[in-house]
Amino acid sequence: MLVIVPDECIDCGVCIPECPADAIFGEDDMPPGQHDFIKLNAELARAPGWRPIVRTVLPLPGADIWNGKAGKRELLERKWPAGC
Ligand code: SF4
């Protein structure tokens, strides 16, 4: 999973068609039931240990297995205080 830093995003939309998992949406185009990802994205963008991606890397092991899998949100482990 990766997140976008809301304060740095200029809403150009270039990343949307580039995402191989079709997992990036503009705030006005969020699919039903996905709006809570806006808040989660902002939280994770500030979370300790989440570092910027500065170079192209291969997909992580299991990426295809997790792509589109339902119920992943509940499996997210927060190892920092909520609201941090
Ligand atoms: S490419 Fe995506 S994340 Fe980067 S500024 Fe544009 S919309 Fe924001």
Question: Domains of the chain (ranges plus CATH)?
Answer: 1-45 (3.30.70.20)
Q: How far is the CA of 29 from the centre of ligand 1 (A)?
A: 15
CA of 11 to the centre of ligand 1 (A): 5
User: Is 60 exceeded by the pLDDT of residue 27?
Assistant: yes
The residue contributing the CA closest to ligand 1 atom 3 is 9
Which of 7, 12, 41 to probe ligand 1 with, by most ligand atoms within 8 A of CB?
A: 12
One-letter amino acid at 67 equals N
Look up residue 20 and give its DSSP letter: T
Judged against a pLDDT cut of 80, whether residue 71 lies above it is answered with yes
- C-alpha 38: how far from its chain's center? 9
What residues are in contact with ligand 1 under a 6 Å CB criterion? 4, 9-15
Q: What is the reported pTM? A: 0.81
